[in-house]
């Protein structure tokens, strides 16, 4: 994509303009997408994203430019324009005159695919996906099954003025099954979307039949669900994708993107007890083949396992280069971006609440009336105030400790920092699930996770 | 290769192979300036371009795109697109007969302002917002401009292009008073930089966010909802596709068999205008080269038209409407240009809840069933007065029931680009379920 001498000349030029730090990022990303409706191909697309981003720091000020003309002439021009935008035009600096000696870091292949995309043709994929389609049809109410397969093969290169030269390759596969059920009461959907940093072996690791069936059953459950009750009540949240609630309401508040700007309510609380002591919260970018894993982050730093909250005490934020510069905390390999069109910011990778000691049954015992949010949908949070909202994808009423009728349309509403103090018990069945997270530096693959856990009180919004 | 050279190369290779091909190329430019504590903290300058093809081989359609413009990458695009087409079971795809559509400039000199003035715009916005002592933190105060050139060409004779773009000001900050903290957001967009005024954007932010400070819980119940324009548009956004010919064919629309039928209150008319003087998504022709025109989705509650591209219009045997959408990375779809809720005779606040913000629209609304349950912020209205702000509540229901209960629509338009590009007045809806404390 970019050779060493080009990278060196770009960085030298940037430093000569007075930049304190210069970074070149280049990527070539081949992707394929296949959408099926009742096993008929609705859309089949393939593409190459290709471009470079140049980021310069003048103190803590950041300027960023990208282009998909990767010729040296063009990128030098882009660098000059950037320096002019940064207000440092005409300044000549001695920095960078000595040349750079890049220290090369190459990926070891810790998340490399076993079954590469080229090993099977596109018909084979449709055959494997048909297993999900068949399994999803758990009843005559299932009218349609949508399946979406994504294949990503991304090569990146990061070089910077500190002599860093890192390349990484990220191969990821995910399929998403949506079962649509309909009867005289209306239409409802069920969803499953397993994804990993693997090739086509995903179909063996996450069997399509299993996920298809789960999507179908969820749609049927929602079809017979009654409108959810409203008001404050105890809530048991299910494992795996249930972790999205703390991804939104806690994780985002621990990114230096908001901490350094002091827009997070958890700014300046390192060492303080911010959560119930049954809560240990981890962000781990090294999980082998994890959907949000990579060997290096998008600033070229090795990823790591970062303990954010240990038994309720805040231990670390998620820190990228800019965040480190602003706050003084060490970087945690958390600089991520969707692609070259975004400058990296601090982001989550695979984030989860660790398993606790309670049994799942004990969470429900003693609840006279509450909600079991078995599966959550997406949600949103305002990091300034910590206000969040989450749709409950699959929910049930808890009555006298028993899981009873399913309910639909429930929304969990609250403030993150309050909710994490109200986690009163955590079970031992921690599991992760894959999802996409959108923020300042684009939409990126992440895992969320947790065991079953009990929150003493959340406001539930519903129509019933 | 340049984008135009790549377009020519692909058309020629397709003709050699006897493949019908349409090449959509877009080149775009962006400049974003973000102020923080009196300095420009973040600056992004960008140029991006790419080319995406749609091929039709024996009635089967396939797609591929590239941003790398080498002949190797372009050959890969053509072979992937043909392979992707081969997977299709449907055999009634076609490329519409094209014609020369000319070159259009919808932007003119709208963004031609010296760089220093643009920088000042971001800095002034932050400064103006910080004047209010209740403003604690400014997350972002930004000026941003986007300019793009779209070029369409096909082996069936389509050829044309247009240039467009817009600039916006955006502020995102936290305000507090006593124990109460509210994060707010304000966005002003225009095709003319000169129409953006940092001082009034700042005032608007302070007014909208400040009025929510000291919010109290809302008692659960059914109230009259007064949805402010941006709140109504964000509620409308997930359900607009029920008017899409594509959704109708896929059986995902509730309106497919409702043409000419009354499904909403008479107070509610909804139209799409591709050539509005203030429109941010104006386009002389759609992504297939069909000329665009204004259509009514709903006129006084009656379904008057759906939105179509050539394939959906053909399948449903309805008129072409100029709503083909496609980016160079995407596939042919159906999309609106500027969706407008027709102004009515006005709304008089009496008793109920003025809903100012809806959150979580992507998660809390089921686009197929119409069900929604959304976190909201707002003001309690008592005897026509804004009594006090309210928080921690949701509004829920079904979109299609809700539009039957529209009582009145305000008389002036406010533009938004948050969830969809369009405009709406304030909308009054009777008997809406609110869940709070």
Residues A402, A266 share a domain? yes
Task: Encode pLDDT of A189-203 as tens digits.
Answer: 999 999 999 999 999
Instruction: Please say whether the beta carbons of A243 and A448 come within 8 A.
Output: yes
Any idea which residue has 């300095």 for tokens?
A: B39
**Phi, psi of A124, deg, nearest 5:** -60, -40
Round to whole Å and give the CA distance between B142 and B126.
Answer: 8
Task: Encode pLDDT of B348-357 as tens digits.
Answer: 999 999 999 8
Tell which of A199, A219, A239 closes a domain. Answer: A219
Of all residues in chain A, the percent with pLDDT exceeding 90 is 82
Judged by CB atoms closer than 8 Å, whether chains meet at B63 and A144 is answered as: no
Contact partners, residue A357, CB within 8 Å, separation at least 6? A426, A428
- Predicted local confidence at residue A98, as pLDDT: 58
Judged by CB atoms closer than 8 Å, whether chains meet at A380 and B359 is answered as: yes
Tell which of A185, A219, A253 closes a domain. Answer: A219
H helices present in A371-447, as ranges: 416-419
Q: Cβ contacts (< 8 Å) between A19 and chain B: which residues?
A: none
Contact partners, residue B207, CB within 8 Å, separation at least 6? none
- Predicted local confidence at residue A87, as pLDDT: 63
Contact partners, residue A63, CB within 8 Å, separation at least 6? A55, A56, A82, A83, A85, A86, B42, B43, B44, B45
Instruction: Please say whether the beta carbons of A422 and A331 come within 8 A.
Output: no
Q: Which residue of B has its CA nearest to A326?
A: B41
- Predicted local confidence at residue B418, as pLDDT: 82
Round to whole Å and give the CA distance between A322 and A345.
Answer: 8
Residues A66, A134 share a domain? no
A96 has pLDDT over 70: no
Residues B113, B30 share a domain? yes
Residues A214, A133 share a domain? yes
Instruction: Give B418: exposed, middle or buried? Use CB within 10 Å, 0-12, 13-18, 19+.
Output: middle
Interval B363-368 mean pLDDT: 86
**Phi, psi of A214, deg, nearest 5:** -60, -40
- Predicted local confidence at residue A91, as pLDDT: 54
Range of the domain at B178: 3-205
Of all residues in chain B, the percent with pLDDT exceeding 70 is 100
Mean predicted lDDT score pLDDT of chain B: 94
Residues A241, A161 share a domain? no
Interval A63-69 mean pLDDT: 92
The reply to whether B382 falls in a domain is yes
B116 has pLDDT over 60: yes
Q: Cβ contacts (< 8 Å) between A223 and chain B: which residues?
A: none
H helices present in A144-231, as ranges: 202-205, 208-223
Q: Cβ contacts (< 8 Å) between A34 and chain B: which residues?
A: 87
Determine which of B10, B356, B362, B364 to mutate to test the interface with A (most A C-beta atoms within 10 Å).
B364
Task: Encode pLDDT of B225-260 as tens digits.
Answer: 999 999 999 999 999 999 999 999 988 899 999 999
Judged by CB atoms closer than 8 Å, whether chains meet at A64 and B43 is answered as: yes
Range of the domain at A179: 117-219
Residues B270, B158 share a domain? no
Instruction: Give B132: exposed, middle or buried? Use CB within 10 Å, 0-12, 13-18, 19+.
Output: middle
The reply to whether A40 falls in a domain is no
The reply to whether B412 falls in a domain is yes
The domain that holds B130 is classified in CATH as 3.30.2290.10
User: What distance in Å separates residue A112's CA from the closest CA in chain B?
Assistant: 24
User: What distance in Å separates residue B435's CA from the closest CA in chain A?
Assistant: 5
Determine which of A185, A322, A379, A389 to mutate to test the interface with B (most B C-beta atoms within 10 Å).
A389
Residue A433 pairs with which residues in a beta bridge? Answer: A448
Residues A326, A302 share a domain? yes
The reply to whether B417 falls in a domain is yes
A383 has pLDDT over 90: no
Instruction: Please say whether the beta carbons of A407 and A373 come within 8 A.
Output: no
The reply to whether B421 falls in a domain is yes
The reply to whether B210 falls in a domain is no
Q: Is B47 in the A-facing interface, judged by CB distances under 8 Å?
A: yes
Judged by CB atoms closer than 8 Å, whether chains meet at B375 and A413 is answered as: yes
Contacts by B128-135, CB closer than 8 A, 24 or more apart: B128/B198, B128/B199, B128/B201, B128/B202, B128/B203, B129/B171, B129/B173, B129/B202, B129/B205, B129/B206, B131/B202, B132/B175, B132/B206, B132/B210, B134/B175, B134/B176, B134/B177, B134/B206, B134/B210, B134/B213, B135/B173, B135/B174, B135/B175, B135/B206
E strand or H helix at A245: helix A244-249
Q: Cβ contacts (< 8 Å) between A230 and chain B: which residues?
A: 220, 394, 435-436
- Write out the DSSP string of B76-124: HHHHHHHHHHHT-------PPP--EEEEEESSTTTT---HHHHHHHHHH
Residues A56, A170 share a domain? no
> pLDDT grade, residue A88 (50/70/90)?
low
A416 has pLDDT over 60: yes
Any idea which residue has 């050959």 for tokens?
A: B75
Distances (CA, A) of A449 to A244, A364, A452, A453: 7, 20, 10, 11
Q: Is B223 in the A-facing interface, judged by CB distances under 8 Å?
A: no
C-alpha distance across the termini of chain B, in Å: 62
Round to whole Å and give the CA distance between A461 and A230.
Answer: 5
Q: Look at residues B138, B55, B142, B102 and name the one whose alpha carbon lies nearest to residue B332.
A: B55
Residues B289, B229 share a domain? yes
User: What distance in Å separates residue A293's CA from the closest CA in chain B?
Assistant: 25
Residues A294, A164 share a domain? no
A435 has pLDDT over 80: yes
Task: Encode pLDDT of A305-334 as tens digits.
Answer: 999 999 999 999 999 999 999 999 999 999
Structural domain tally of chain B? 2
Give, as one character, the DSSP assignment of residue A206.
S
The reply to whether B328 falls in a domain is yes
- Predicted local confidence at residue A462, as pLDDT: 75
Residues B286, B140 share a domain? no
Q: Cβ contacts (< 8 Å) between A46 and chain B: which residues?
A: 63-65, 76-77, 80-81, 84
Residues B295, B378 share a domain? yes
ipTM (interface pTM): 0.84
- Predicted local confidence at residue A83, as pLDDT: 85
Q: Residue B392, CB half-sphere, CA atoms under 13 Å: how many?
A: 22
Round to whole Å and give the CA distance between B61 and B139.
Answer: 45
Residues A296, A164 share a domain? no
- Predicted local confidence at residue B140, as pLDDT: 86
Query: What does the block give as tokens for B11?
Result: 């058309």
Instruction: Please say whether the beta carbons of B3 and B23 come within 8 A.
Output: no
Residues B328, B192 share a domain? no
Residues A128, A62 share a domain? no
Instruction: Please say whether the beta carbons of A22 and A9 come within 8 A.
Output: no
Round to whole Å and give the CA distance between B51 and B326.
Answer: 11
Q: Could you say which of A43, A82, A461 has the minimum Cβ distance to residue B375?
A: A461
Q: Look at residues B21, B41, B117, B28 and name the one whose alpha carbon lies nearest to residue B67.
A: B28
Interval A74-95 mean pLDDT: 74
The reply to whether A34 falls in a domain is no
Distances (CA, A) of B296 to A182, B253, B286, B301: 29, 17, 17, 10
Residue A31 pairs with which residues in a beta bridge? Answer: A47, A152
Residues B185, B103 share a domain? yes
User: What distance in Å separates residue A301's CA from the closest CA in chain B?
Assistant: 22
Tell which of A171, A197, A219 closes a domain. Answer: A219
> pLDDT grade, residue A453 (50/70/90)?
very high
Query: What does the block give as tokens for A294?
Result: 């990579």
Three-state secondary structure call for residue A334 = coil
Task: Encode pLDDT of B138-182 as tens digits.
Answer: 988 999 999 999 999 999 999 999 999 999 999 999 999 999 999
Round to whole Å and give the CA distance between A287 and A301.
Answer: 16
A432 has pLDDT over 70: yes
Residues B224, B342 share a domain? yes
B67 has pLDDT over 80: yes
B347 has pLDDT over 90: yes
Handedness of CA A452, A216, A287, A267 (dihedral sign): negative
Interval B6-15 mean pLDDT: 97
Tell which of B185, B205, B225 closes a domain. Answer: B205
Distances (CA, A) of A459 to A21, A371, B7, B391, B392: 47, 10, 55, 11, 8
Tell which of B146, B172, B205 closes a domain. Answer: B205
Three-state secondary structure call for residue A128 = helix
Structural domain tally of chain A? 3
Round to whole Å and give the CA distance between A297 and B150.
Answer: 34
The reply to whether B89 falls in a domain is yes
Tally Cβ neighbours within 10 Å of residue A103. 10
Residues B272, B132 share a domain? no
Round to whole Å and give the CA distance between A333 and A282.
Answer: 14
Round to whole Å and give the CA distance between B309 and B93.
Answer: 12
Instruction: Please say whether the beta carbons of A218 and A190 come within 8 A.
Output: yes
Distances (CA, A) of A413 to A364, A419, A460, B379, B399: 21, 10, 6, 18, 21
Judged by CB atoms closer than 8 Å, whether chains meet at A382 and B183 is answered as: yes
The reply to whether A39 falls in a domain is no
Q: Is B56 in the A-facing interface, judged by CB distances under 8 Å?
A: no
The reply to whether A441 falls in a domain is yes
What CA dihedral angle connects B279, B281, B283 and B289, to 10 degrees?
-150
> pLDDT grade, residue A452 (50/70/90)?
very high
Distances (CA, A) of A36 to A68, A144, A150, B60: 31, 10, 12, 15
pTM above 0.95, yes or no: no
Residues A203, A308 share a domain? no
Residues B235, B95 share a domain? no
H helices present in B271-380, as ranges: 310-316, 361-364
Residues 352-381 of B with CB under 8 A from A: 359-360, 362-364, 366, 368-369, 371-375
> pLDDT grade, residue A403 (50/70/90)?
very high
Residues A324, A368 share a domain? yes
Q: Look at residues B351, B356, B431 and name the one whose alpha carbon lies nearest to residue B387.
A: B351
A86 has pLDDT over 80: no
Round to whole Å and give the CA distance between B95 and B55.
Answer: 8
- Taken as a whole, chain A contains a residue count of 464
Q: Cβ contacts (< 8 Å) between B396 and chain A: which residues?
A: 409, 411, 461-463
Round to whole Å and give the CA distance between A200 and A63.
Answer: 39
Tell which of B187, B205, B223 closes a domain. Answer: B205
Residues A407, A320 share a domain? yes
- Predicted local confidence at residue A82, as pLDDT: 87
Distances (CA, A) of A143 to A190, A382, A414, B105, B251: 12, 37, 36, 47, 10
- Predicted local confidence at residue B359, as pLDDT: 86
Round to whole Å and give the CA distance between A293 and A307.
Answer: 16
Residues B246, B162 share a domain? no
- Predicted local confidence at residue A95, as pLDDT: 59
The reply to whether B102 falls in a domain is yes
Task: Encode pLDDT of A250-306 as tens digits.
Answer: 999 999 998 998 888 899 999 999 999 999 999 999 999 999 999 999 999 999 999
- Predicted local confidence at residue A425, as pLDDT: 97
Residues B78, B155 share a domain? yes
Task: Encode pLDDT of A330-363 as tens digits.
Answer: 999 999 999 999 999 999 999 999 999 999 999 9
Give, as one character, the DSSP assignment of residue A330.
P
């Amino acid at each position: 994509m970019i050779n060493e001498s080009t990278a060196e000349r770009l960085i030298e030029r940037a430093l000569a303009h007075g930049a304190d730090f210069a970074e070149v990022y280049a990527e070539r990303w081949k992707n394929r997408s296949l959408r099926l409706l009742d096993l008929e191909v609705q859309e089949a697309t393939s593409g190459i994203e290709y471009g470079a981003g140049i980021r310069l720091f003048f103190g803590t000020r950041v300027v960023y430019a990208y282009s998909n003309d990767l010729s040296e002439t063009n990128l030098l021009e882009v660098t000059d324009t950037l320096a002019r935008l940064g207000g440092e035009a005409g300044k000549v600096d001695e920095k960078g005159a000595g040349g750079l000696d890049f220290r090369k870091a190459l990926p070891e292949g810790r998340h490399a695919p076993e079954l590469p995309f080229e090993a099977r043709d596109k018909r084979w994929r449709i055959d494997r996906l048909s297993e999900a389609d068949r399994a999803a049809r758990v009843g005559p109410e299932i009218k349609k099954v949508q399946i979406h397969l994504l294949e990503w093969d991304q090569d990146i290169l990061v070089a910077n003025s500190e002599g860093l030269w890192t390349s990484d390759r990220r191969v990821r596969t995910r399929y998403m099954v949506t079962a649509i059920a309909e009867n005289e009461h209306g239409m409802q959907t069920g969803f499953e979307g397993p994804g990993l940093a693997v090739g086509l072996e995903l179909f063996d690791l996450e069997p399509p039949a299993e996920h298809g069936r789960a999507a179908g059953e969820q749609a049927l459950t929602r079809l017979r669900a009654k409108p959810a009750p409203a008001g404050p009540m105890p809530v048991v949240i299910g494992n795996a994708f249930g972790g999205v609630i703390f991804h939104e309401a806690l994780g985002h508040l621990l990114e230096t993107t908001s901490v350094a700007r002091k827009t997070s309510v958890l700014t300046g609380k390192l060492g303080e007890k911010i959560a119930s002591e049954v809560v240990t919260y981890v962000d781990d970018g090294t999980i082998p083949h994890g959907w949000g894993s990579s060997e290096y982050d998008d600033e070229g730093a090795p990823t790591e396992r970062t303990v954010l909250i240990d038994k309720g005490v805040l231990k670390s934020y998620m820190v990228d280069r800019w965040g480190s510069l602003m706050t003084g905390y060490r970087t945690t390999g958390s600089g991520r971006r969707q692609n070259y069109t975004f400058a990296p910011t601090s982001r989550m990778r695979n984030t989860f609440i660790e398993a606790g000691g309670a049994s799942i049954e004990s969470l429900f015992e003693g609840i006279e009336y509450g909600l079991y949010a078995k599966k959550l949908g997406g949600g949103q949070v305002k990091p300034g105030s910590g206000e969040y909202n989450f749709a409950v994808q699959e929910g049930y009423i808890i009555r006298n400790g028993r899981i009873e009728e399913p309910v639909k349309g429930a929304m969990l509403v609250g403030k993150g920092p309050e909710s994490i103090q109200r986690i009163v018990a955590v079970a031992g069945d921690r599991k992760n699930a894959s999802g996409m997270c959108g923020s300042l530096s684009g939409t990126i693959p992440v895992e969320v996770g947790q065991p079953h856990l009990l929150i003493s009180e959340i406001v539930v919004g519903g129509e019933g | 290769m340049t984008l135009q050279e790549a377009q020519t190369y692909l058309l020629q290779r397709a003709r050699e192979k006897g493949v019908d091909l349409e090449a959509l190329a877009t080149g775009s430019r962006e400049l974003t300036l973000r102020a923080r504590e009196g300095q420009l903290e973040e600056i992004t300058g960008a140029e991006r371009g790419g080319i995406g093809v749609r091929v039709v081989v024996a009635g089967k359609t396939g797609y591929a795109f590239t941003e790398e413009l080498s002949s190797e990458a372009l050959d890969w695009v053509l072979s992937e697109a043909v392979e992707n087409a081969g997977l299709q079971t449907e055999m009634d795809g076609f490329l519409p007969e094209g014609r020369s559509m000319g070159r259009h400039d919808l932007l003119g000199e709208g963004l031609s302002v010296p760089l220093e003035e643009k920088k000042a715009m971001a800095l002034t916005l932050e400064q103006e917002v910080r004047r209010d002592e209740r403003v604690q933190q400014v997350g972002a105060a930004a000026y941003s401009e986007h300019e793009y050139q779209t070029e369409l060409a096909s082996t069936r004779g389509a050829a044309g292009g247009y240039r467009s773009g817009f600039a916006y000001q955006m502020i995102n900050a936290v305000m507090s008073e006593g124990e109460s903290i509210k994060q707010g957001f304000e966005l002003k967009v225009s095709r003319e930089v000169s129409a953006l005024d940092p001082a009034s954007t700042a005032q608007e932010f302070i007014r909208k966010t400040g009025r929510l400070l000291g919010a109290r819980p809302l008692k659960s119940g059914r109230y009259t909802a007064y949805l402010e324009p941006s709140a109504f548009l964000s509620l409308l956004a997930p359900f607009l596709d029920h008017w899409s010919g594509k959704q109708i064919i896929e059986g995902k629309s509730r309106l497919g068999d409702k043409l000419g039928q009354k499904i909403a209150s008479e107070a509610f008319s909804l139209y799409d205008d591709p050539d509005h003087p203030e429109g941010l998504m104006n386009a002389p022709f759609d992504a297939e080269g069909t000329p665009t025109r204004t259509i009514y989705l709903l006129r006084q509650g009656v379904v008057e038209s759906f939105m179509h591209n050539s394939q959906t219009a053909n399948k449903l045997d309805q008129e072409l409407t100029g709503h083909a959408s496609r980016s160079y990375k995407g596939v042919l779809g159906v999309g609106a240009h500027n969706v407008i809720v027709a102004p009515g005779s006005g709304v008089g606040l009496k008793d109920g809840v003025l809903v100012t913000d809806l959150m979580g629209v992507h998660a809390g609304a089921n686009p197929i069933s119409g069900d929604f349950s959304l976190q909201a912020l707002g003001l309690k209205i008592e005897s026509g007065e804004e009594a006090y702000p309210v928080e921690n509540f949701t509004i829920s229901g079904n979109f299609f029931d809700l539009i039957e209960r529209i009582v009145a629509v305000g008389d002036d338009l406010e533009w938004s680009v948050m969830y969809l590009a369009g405009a709406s007045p304030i909308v009054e809806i009777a008997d809406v379920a609110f869940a709070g404390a």
